[in-house]
Structures are given as structure tokens and as C-alpha cells.
Structure 1
Amino acid sequence: MLRLFAVLMMLLASPRVSAQEEGPRGIHAQEAVITDAALVPHARPALATGEVRTKRFIIVHTAKAAGAARALAQQIEGVRDGFGAMLGRDWPGTTEIRLGVGRQEFEALALPGGKPPGWAVALAYPGHQIILLDALSLNDTEGPTTLRHELAHVALGQLAKEWPRWFQEGVAQNLTDERYSVAHYSALFRAVTQERVFHFEDLSEDWPDVPSDVEIAYAQSAAFVAFLTGKHGPQAMGLLVDGVRAGEPFEQAFGKAFRTSLLLEEQDWREGLAARYGWLPLTTSSALLWLAASALCVAAFARRMWQKSARMTELAAEDAAEDAALRLLAAARAAGPLSPDGSEALSPSALTWPEWPGATPTPGVPGPVGPSQPEALEGAPEALESGAGGPEASEAVEPGDEEPESPSGEHEVDAEHPAGRPPKPTLH
């Protein structure tokens, strides 16, 4: 029992860190705020080797962070001017920024008893007007936004002490333009469609535990502060800051500055949520048009790639067929000689008409006609007459057309057509 009591006392005595131990998503997963005013800044850390001064800032840095400190000094004053334009007031005094490189230097520059959480790369001590930064985070895409977020906490901490949690986070996000992100719109769209918008009185001290609810709390805080600034202007925001600084409760100072109550302003803001973050603006916005056009482009590209793939498959099949034909042709050539056109060469006997049994050369007739030449020629006139239209179609053989005889009395044999292999007979 005594051990349990001791543990509870240690938890109550430890500095309060206004962020979840796991850290929310996005930029809020990298920044933390320690509001314990009991921390006492000690002398400059031994690791610090120099400083860069501007009109309203002192940038204390290590040897590795010297270049980052000089680059930051050229931009930091302009960032602070933007804060004054929105809040209507500038916080007094000089703000100290401690800059180191890497986790070891980042933790070594922290205040005693105010060690940063393991997931944070930026830490704000609003009560002491000190900001702790890892110089490597400035090169990240969200690095400058993280710095501006921490400056917002320092500004509110120096301007007044008692601020609702939703107001602090809403002002910080508007000063860093985080409220324009797609993640914020998505969170508010989910909250509106699911009817999970929180009441701001429930976000004054505590923050939700579920990560999805944390995103909604951040998004609606930024949207409500933007609504108040756009409706009442920076002059009313300045009056609100003056009232809270004077010690007035927040809701009382709110009523004096905006001439209405926090409850009525919240109801007015809620009435317009469906028109700004519901289905209607999503279906009528130009963003949807671009989204649809992008989807069509992706579909057309996918169809084109499918057609190209099908064509390549078809060409590959044709190439495979041609390769197979060439392999067959090569095999045929290896098996025997080929004719010039690529077909198999024919033997000499296949190029002549076959001999008929008993065929003998007949004078005046270029080719074998059978065993009995006269009988074979009988009926030829009738065949010619019936096939060619009459005796006129045939031509008489002139006496001079007979083949000459050789001196020995035998018919000469054509060298191209040796005996026994006459050419194909033709009719004249």
C-alpha cells in the first residue's frame, strides 16, 4: 500500500506534458509542450558553443548546429510578425531557441526535469519562453510547421496563462496553416457524417484518448478558431487576449470581445458544418472533378497497358511460330538437297513422263502413244472435231514437217529427249 502511494505521489509531482505518450499522427506526433512553471532554467548548457541574436530571439546552438542557427535567424522574425497580425498582439520579451543536432544533443539542451518525450523532435516551455529543437527536423517537410506550432504555444503562454486546450491548439494550427491540410478535412468529414463532433467544453482541459478522436479534436479546434477570426477579425482576438491577460475567465473575456457567448458561437459554427464538410461540398467541388479526371486517366492508362501487353503476347507467339518453321526447314535441309524455292528436290525420273509398256518411238509424233500407234491415233480427228468444233480446228501435217532421217536411215534422236523418254505429247 505504501509503495502504491509513493508511485502516485511521484506521478503527481512529475512535469505535466500536454500530449499523448504515443503521440498523435502527423505534425502533432513530433511536438510537445511542458507547462510546469516549477522548472528553473539553468545557465547555458555546456554543450552549447555559440548563439545568434536577432531583434526578439536568441538562438543558442551547438557546434554542429551553427549553420542551421544562422539560417533560422534569417526567417524567425518574419514568422513572429505573422503571429501578431492574427492575434492582434505580440508577446513581450525575447524568446530563446535551443538548437542541437541529433537525439543526444537535443536531450542535453533540455531544462532540468523537463526531458522531452522519446517521440518528440520539438519541445516548448511556454512559461520560460524557451523552445528546444532538433536541427535535423528543420530539413524535414514538416520541420518549419513544427517550429511555428511551438512558437504559437510560447506566444499564448506569454500573453496569458489560462487558455482552453482547444483554443491553444486551434490558434497554433491557424498560425501554421495546418487547417488547410487534407487530413483535417478528412477528420471533419468523418466527424460530421458520423455525428462525432465534440463539444468544446469537453476539450477545455482533457484531450481524447483514441487516436481517431484526437485527429477530430485537432481539426475542429482549428476550424472553430478560423471561424471566429474570419467572423470577428483580429481586433476582437486582441480584446480576448487582453481580457484573459487581465485575469478574466476565458468565457467572460470571450463574451466581452465577441459580444456573444461561446455556446451561441459554437451552435452557429455547427450549423454550417454539413454545408462545408458533408457530402454536398464533396460532390460539387472542383476537387471532385479533378479526382474523376485523374481516375479516368488512370483507367485509360491501364487499358492502354493491357492492349500493349496483349499485342506483345501476340507478337511473341508469331515469333515462336516463325522460329519453329525455321527449325523444321533447317532439319529438312540437313536431311537432303532442296530446290531453289526451299522444297524437296525431285529425282530425274520424277521430272519425266513414265514409259508405257510396249511404247515405241513413232516418226512425226513426239511422245509415246501406246503399244499400237495407228490404233491410238484412230478416233483422234473425231475427238478433235467434237472438242474443238470440227475439222477446221485441226491442222494438216505438211510433208515437210516430217523429222529428217539420219544418213544411216534412222530417225535422229533429240539429245534432250533420249530414246525411251519422250516429252509430254501436245496437239497441234
Structure 2
Amino acid sequence: MSKRGPRPKRAPVCVGTALRAALALVVALLLALPPRTARADLPSEAAPYGETAHFVYFGSDEVTSAVHKVMTVAEERFGRVCAALGACDTLGGKIDVWIAEDPEQFAAAFPDGAPMAEWAAGVAFIGARRVVLRAHGTALFSLLETFDHEVAHVLINAVAGGRHVPRWLTEGLAIWVSGEDVIARLSAAHQAAITGNLLTLDELDAGFPNRGSRVPLAYAQSALFTRHLIGRGGPGALVTVLRRIGAGEPFDAAFTERFGAPADELAADWVATLEEETSPFLLLHDSSLLWFAMTLVFVAVGLRLSREKKAAFARMDAEDAAAEARAEAARAFAELEAQRHSGEPPTLH
């Protein structure tokens, strides 16, 4: 195992603003619960709806259309996900897919005592090869994207032989293979880089946040750092790490052998790059700075309108003066014409 030097002291976590909290809530709707390992019996009223090569599907009459939607594309999506993870030959049996119509059905598919987050779109019980999905997804996280994400968790566990894989890596890979949009996560991570709020890899692994403003940050870091590693070593690099773990090698050794440096060292370099590349525009994600910028815009617009109004008044005054001069000249000319026709000599002033 490689020696690790002392980490620099991290800045305290900043209190989230109202805007950041709203972003946290929206992004949280996209995220799935941490994988569980205990297997639970299906609710007593559940019966298999059907099955395909790698899946058995469960759901009530209310979710028939959702189950059919998943069944139609499940094998195609499974092929794409398992190929990306090098896991097409690792699954030891079929994956149970339970689709729930409402929160009650969603909770009923969980083991006794297993917590359920209201915002969760899906959950994977990896040891049991079972995923539970909300039939309607969320506003920004569709049913099929949730399906890909949770299936990825099951496959990652299979490739690693059930051995421990850091949480940031499992989430990062699940996001990557399911094609989830990382724009919101990118914004959150850039903002955190500005304020010094980024979590260490050890923190992400030991206590991955499941509530509050740190949730979107944790997923942002996991997704973006994983994408950074894939860009550095190619799509197969992390799969190689997973396979080494499956063969019994500790993560640190497997990672360092494949990437040439420990994960936390590469993460520190990546964070430094984030801080260097952060655009000042992204500061506007902070609500106080956003209001300040909006105030500057309103002031600038007000000054411009004031100048335009003064210029318009000046033009109107000039036009009135010119019109008065023309009227005066017309009156003088009329007077001269009247005098000429009457035979009176004109009076010069």
C-alpha cells in the first residue's frame, strides 16, 4: 500500500444559501439510495409480471405500462451497461426488477427496517441482485435512467466479487454508464471548489451524505472525478481496477498499479485543476452574488434609460424651438406680403 502524505487542512463547510439548497433538492431527486446487501421477500401480493434473459419483473396492475416499457428495452440497455463495465459474464443469476406505483408500494418492496428516502428514484439491493424503481421516475431522472443506474450497482458488485469498492467509485461509474446529465453536478462541484467545500475521497467512502446540501456535492464529485479518471486512463482502466479487486487485491494497490499514483493524490490534482478552471460566471450560482449582479444590471439599465430620456427631451426642445422660429418667419413674411399689396412701404426693424 502506498504511503500517503499529510493532507492539507480543509476549509470548514460553508452554510448553503437558499439557492444552493434548492439546487440540492432538485439534484437529490435524481439520486438513488445507497446499495443494500440484505435480501428481502417481495410483498405478498406481488407476482412475477414476466421475465427476460437477465431479469424477472414484478409490479401491480397499476404499473403494467411501466413494467412493459422497461421489459421492452431492458436487455438492450443491460448489454450496453454490462459491456461498459466488463461485467457481461459476471452475473450469477437474474436480477429482480420491482416497479412501484407510489411511495407505499416503493416502501413495501424494502426489507423490514430498511430506510426509504422520499427523494429516491430507485434502490439496489446488490447482494440479492434486486432493484426497486419508482414507476414514474422523477422530474429530471427518468425510469429508464434509474434502471440503468441501479443495474450498474449490481454489476459493479459482481465484477468486484462482492468485495469493497469505494462509494465514490461505485456512484461515479453508475452515473457514467447510465448517461445521466452531469451539468448540475459540474456546477455544484465548481462552486464547492471556489468555497473550499469539496469532500475528501475518504469522507465520500466512509460517510457518503444522504441528506442536506452535501448530497449533490458528493454525487457531483463522484461523477466528475470518475469521468476525469476515464479520460486519463481510458474506459477500461477502472474496469481493470474492479477486476483486480474481484481477484482479492486491495483497492489502493489495484488503483495505484493501474493509474501510477494513489487515488487521493490524483484527486488532489483534479481539485487544483477545478479551482484553476473555475469561471467567474459560475460564482453567480451563489444567491448573494446573483442578487448583486442583478442589482448592477438594473442600475446600468436605469442609467441608460435616464440618458436616453434626457436626450429625447433635448431633441424635443430643439424641435419646438425650430418650429417656433419657422412660425415667426412665416408671420413676418405674411406681414411683408400684406404691406406690399396695400402699397405701404415695408417697415424695417
* 8 A contact 1:188–1:277 mirrored in 2: no
CA positional deviation for 1:224: 0.8
AA in 2 matched with 1:66: T
AA in 2 matched with 1:47: E
* C-alpha distance in 2 between matches for 1:228 and 1:191: 20
Deviations 1:40-79 (A, max 9, x none): 443x533224422122111112122222111111122232
Q: Report the equivalent of 1:234.
A: 235
| Long gaps (5+) in structure 2 | 1-23, 285-296, 310-341, 345-349
Distance 1:264 1:178, change over 3 A: same
What are the equivalent positions in structure 2 for 1:28-427 lying under 5 Å apart?
28-29=28-29, 31-35=32-36, 37=37, 39-42=38-41, 44-90=42-88, 91-92=90-91, 93-114=93-114, 116-137=116-137, 140-144=139-143, 145-160=145-160, 161-178=163-180, 180-181=182-183, 183-208=184-209, 211-279=212-280
* C-alpha distance in 2 between matches for 1:148 and 1:216: 21
Distance 1:78 1:27, change over 3 A: farther
Q: How many residues align?
A: 265
* 8 A contact 1:52–1:70 mirrored in 2: no
CA positional deviation for 1:187: 1.1
AA in 1 matched with 2:253: Q
CA positional deviation for 1:209: 7.7
* 8 A contact 1:137–1:143 mirrored in 2: yes
* C-alpha distance in 1 between matches for 2:54 and 2:343: 124
Deviations 1:273-301 (A, max 9, x none): 13443438999xxxxxxxxxxx9xxx8xx
CA positional deviation for 1:211: 2.8
Instruction: Output the aligned Cα RMSD.
Output: 3.4
Distance 1:245 1:166, change over 3 A: same
Distance 1:101 1:388, change over 3 A: closer
* 8 A contact 2:81–2:178 mirrored in 1: no
Distance 1:247 1:101, change over 3 A: same
AA in 2 matched with 1:129: R
* C-alpha distance in 2 between matches for 1:125 and 1:257: 29
* 8 A contact 2:256–2:263 mirrored in 1: yes
* 8 A contact 1:40–1:112 mirrored in 2: no
* C-alpha distance in 2 between matches for 1:74 and 1:56: 13
Q: Report the equivalent of 2:8.
A: none
Tell me the percent identity.
25
Q: Report the equivalent of 1:25.
A: 25
CA positional deviation for 1:193: 1.6
* 8 A contact 1:179–1:219 mirrored in 2: no
* 8 A contact 2:59–2:67 mirrored in 1: yes
* C-alpha distance in 2 between matches for 1:155 and 1:27: 24
Distance 1:191 1:112, change over 3 A: closer
| Long gaps (5+) in structure 1 | 1-23, 284-294, 308-386, 390-428
User: SS of 1:74's equivalent?
Assistant: helix
* 8 A contact 2:81–2:148 mirrored in 1: no
CA positional deviation for 1:28: 3.3
* 8 A contact 1:64–1:101 mirrored in 2: yes
* C-alpha distance in 1 between matches for 2:209 and 2:232: 28
Deviations 1:218-256 (A, max 9, x none): 212211100111111122222111111122211111122
Higher relative contact order (CA 8 A, sep 6+): 2
* C-alpha distance in 1 between matches for 2:343 and 2:71: 116
* 8 A contact 2:198–2:217 mirrored in 1: yes
Which structure is larger by alpha-carbon Rg, 1 or 2?
1
* 8 A contact 1:27–1:146 mirrored in 2: no
